A and B are shown apart, each in its own frame.
Chain A
Amino acid sequence: GAVVSQHPSRVICKSGTSVKIECRSLDFQATTMFWYRQFPKQSLMLMATSNEGSKATYEQGVEKDKFLINHASLTLSTLTVTSAHPEDSSFYICSASGERGGSNEQYFGPGTRLTVT
């Protein structure tokens, strides 16, 4: 079954509004969570890495003031797209890494499709 959930799965919002996406690890403690973005026909691009209780580390070219990441607990990370614009429309996927079943793997959420009109 799913070990990482994301909510919402789809969201349509108007330009200028903010959207929050949640990523939860369901049966393990995720010490690290990653946020990726995927545009059509392109691969996943890492946006940022977040560790519980500390500030996220953003990849080059990703605006930290636009993409706010909060990793408040070992099971929840949120990504808020502030003042969304049509070019932010994309597939956002989180992944969680932590010990589960004796191994340390990365598990992906089902993704959130954001459409900004």
Chain B
Amino acid sequence: RKEVEQDPGPFNVPEGATVAFNCTYSNSASQSFFWYRQDCRKEPKLLMSVYSSGNEDGRFTAQLNRASQYISLLIRDSKLSDSATYLCVVSLNAGKSTFGDGTTLTVKP
């Protein structure tokens, strides 16, 4: 079993749609959780950290359920520019991170 598993995707949605990505992790000792965005042939960029209390940044909402070892990312009112691969990242200790395989999102006009 992979340490970090994500929805396989791809997700193809129309502009304005709401889309949710899920991620599960296997190591209960994991401490930090993130969603990264990666555009084609570019480096990953931090989208947002994920906290137990849930956090929101504009159209993006991330949630963490430690009991179920589950992380989610919700994107509301999708824009064309949201098209990218979204990576779920889990860190066991300071800095060392395990990446999920990513979920590809394509937002269409």
User: CB within 8 A of B87: which of A43, A45, A109, A110?
Assistant: A43
State whether A32 touches B87 (Cβ < 8 A): no
Contacts A91-B41, A108-B44, A111-B42; A44 near B96 (Cβ below 8 A):
no
> How far apart are the CA atoms of A78 and B67 in the complex, in Å?
40
A99–chain B nearest beta-carbon distance, Å: 11
Contact of A113 with B by CB under 8 A: yes
User: CB within 8 A of B41: which of A43, A105, A113?
Assistant: A113
User: CB within 8 A of B43: which of A45, A93, A104?
Assistant: A93
Contact of A60 with B by CB under 8 A: no
A104–chain B nearest beta-carbon distance, Å: 7
User: CB within 8 A of B94: which of A93, A104, A109?
Assistant: A104
- Given the complex, which residues of B lie within 8 Å of A32, measured CB to CB? 94-95
- Given the complex, which residues of A lie within 8 Å of B91, measured CB to CB? 106
- Given the complex, which residues of A lie within 8 Å of B87, measured CB to CB? 43-44
Across chains A and B, the number of contacting residue pairs, with CB separation under 8 Å, is 41
Decide if the interface of chain B is mainly helix, strand, loop or mixed: loop
For A18-37 the 0/1 string (1 means CB < 8 A from B) is: 00000000000000101010
Contact of B101 with A by CB under 8 A: yes
User: CB within 8 A of B96: which of A46, A91, A104, A105?
Assistant: A46
Contact of A89 with B by CB under 8 A: no
For A32-76 the 0/1 string (1 means CB < 8 A from B) is: 101010000011111001000000000000000000000000000
Contact of B97 with A by CB under 8 A: yes
Closest Cβ neighbor of B104 among chain A residues: A41
Contacts A43-B87, A110-B42, A110-B43; A97 near B101 (Cβ below 8 A):
no
- Given the complex, which residues of A lie within 8 Å of B98, measured CB to CB? 46
